[in-house]
Amino acid sequence: MILRLENVSKSFGALKVTDGVTVTVPRGEALGIIGPNGAGKSTLFNLITGNLLADEGRIELLGRDVTRAPAMDRVRMGVGRSFQIPQPFEGLSVFENLLTAAAFGRGGREAEMVDDCARILEETELLRKANLLAGSLSLLDRKRLELARALATGPELLLLDEIAGGLTEGECKALVATIKAIQAKGTTIIWIEHVLHALTSVVERLLVLDFGRVIGIGAPDAIMASQQVREIYLGLEV
């Protein structure tokens, strides 16, 4: 088990955005999270990363209680994250962006970090673009860089927040192949995504959030066939 959330809740004022969420994520799994806009998906990520602290409940990471641990500790323990809107340092090269993330995430000896960054550029198919300015990249490459920056912190648990949004079908396929390869190397992945065909081609389980509550978790086929999920998430009359 890499991550366990037990009865985790979070409110903003009177609005309960995370409501008694309990889930266990085994090491190596790819778990997808879906739910309508405002269901509390990004907030759940913020609670896992420590960018927000839970009001109630317990969060365990790699067997350690991190419920009150600051974000930096959790990065050092191996939680990496990509953001919905990539915000690289536009005036730095792709490689410099990665080195910055690596230094922030784990620190370590410079030669080692440089080697790691070169390997990650290869994994994310950015090697030939290493010296380009981040601000000059296409949308697909900005997404790849966002992924690479998350990998540069050395995560065992990788959180992806809507990384496939806005891509063409072909670009989406290419990104999915990269994500599959990352999982195949043993990284645990939790992926929030509205592009369902991309998500279901990777994840082993889907978790459905609605009003901050888990309303379903299981194999993607079973979840997508569920009447409750179709009504709530897809807005379908069934």
- Do residues 105 and 154 lie in contact, with contact meaning Cβ atoms separated by under 8 Å? yes
Whole-angstrom distance, CA of residue 145 vs CA of residue 194:
20
Whole-angstrom distance, CA of residue 117 vs CA of residue 227:
45
Least CB distance to ligand ATP at residue 71 (A): 15
- Residue 82 is a binding residue for ligand ATP (CB under 6 A): no
The site that binds ligand ATP (CB under 6 A) totals a number of residues, namely: 10
Give the angle 215-219-223 at the CA atoms, nearest 5°. Answer: 40
Footprint (CB under 6 A) of ligand ATP, residues 19-38: 35, 37-38
Give the angle 181-187-189 at the CA atoms, nearest 5°. Answer: 90
SS percent in the chain: helix, strand, coil, step 5: 40, 25, 35
Task: Tell which one of 1, 7, 11, 12 touches ligand ATP (CB under 6 A).
Answer: 12
**Please, which residue, 134 or 217, has the CB nearer to ligand ATP?**
217
Least CB distance to ligand ATP at residue 35 (A): 6
Task: Tell which one of 29, 42, 54, 95 touches ligand ATP (CB under 6 A).
Answer: 42
Task: Tell which one of 39, 99, 121, 229 touches ligand ATP (CB under 6 A).
Answer: 39
Least CB distance to ligand ATP at residue 192 (A): 7
- Do residues 27 and 2 lie in contact, with contact meaning Cβ atoms separated by under 8 Å? yes
Residue ranges that bind ligand ATP, judged by CB under 6 A: 12, 17, 35, 37-43
